[in-house]
Structure 1
Amino acid sequence: MGDEVRVLSRAIDQAGDVLDHVHADHLGRPTPCRDWDVAALIDHLVAQPGHFLTMMRGGEPDFSATPPHVAESWGPVFRVAGDDLLHHWHEHEGDAPVPADWQIAELATHTWDVATAIGYPVDRLDPEVAERGLAFMRANLTDDNRGEAFAAEVATDGGPYERLAAFAGRAV
């Protein structure tokens, strides 16, 4: 167990904190994720710890399937799944089939997306989470493998989350 699991734990905590600030009147708002409103983005974010846990156990989640809709209590629902993932990390021995840094990058990016969409102060987010996620993305996300999920990198002079979002192709 290394530093990456400590940072993953913080990524899970802060995602839960941001999700605690979502209100029903936010659900129809647009997000920095193309074609997703806040409701769809939250469903995606809440599903991620379960997808990663499935992968950690050797399974293959269906990322193309529409995740179950979560109608309320987004933070607590996310935290339960996040806790299950962290418990597995603490019990895991040997090489992990899914890098913790990939999980951090996914959670950090979508936490920024939700925070931006609902007006949560991005400066309250943990910069180490964004920096670690960005380092992973810079090492692994190329122009050739961006697919539909990531637009081309955009320029920014912003802080760690803005740089992460810009690298993921979000308008910042």
Structure 2
Amino acid sequence: MLNPIDTAAVIREGGAVGRFPGDLHEGVGWWLGACLVVTQKASVLALAHNGHPAAVRFAGPALSGAINAEHYACLVRDLGRQTEETLQRVLATEQTPGIYLAADGDPADCHIRITLYDRDAAPLREGTGLAEIRRRIAEDRVPIPVNIQAKGRIVNAPTEPRQGDAP
């Protein structure tokens, strides 16, 4: 692993939580995206963020990881800036797993939370994939695509006007 993290300390509370920079780095987004697809056996996944610059910075790697996960060829819906409640409604309606990225504070030194959701729009728990994701990352067993045909794709799919957008 090129840039290890303390998985026991940061992979908790339904996803990953910590300071950026420091506890977490952008690669964690990639690892979480790829591992969520594999542990949930997802062919579709949705991702949204709160618009904070650090959350946006982590969203790109998370999207990339999700489309590069073993043989799943996952279709990843990038909902962009949305509320966490909006993402949860989408997940519950579509019965698909998802990722929500939220950060607060100074972008140069902030707190970030990456919540991973299962198909029931519930945050992952130890028995529903979180422990497996923590183990995979700690053991550097992050999934990679088996071939180019296994690569998924990203679609921009906002569900409602974003805050600050004109109606």
TM-score (norm 2): 0.29
* Structure with the largest fraction of strand: 2
* Structure with the largest fraction of helix: 1
Higher relative contact order (CA 8 A, sep 6+): 2
TM-score (norm 1): 0.28
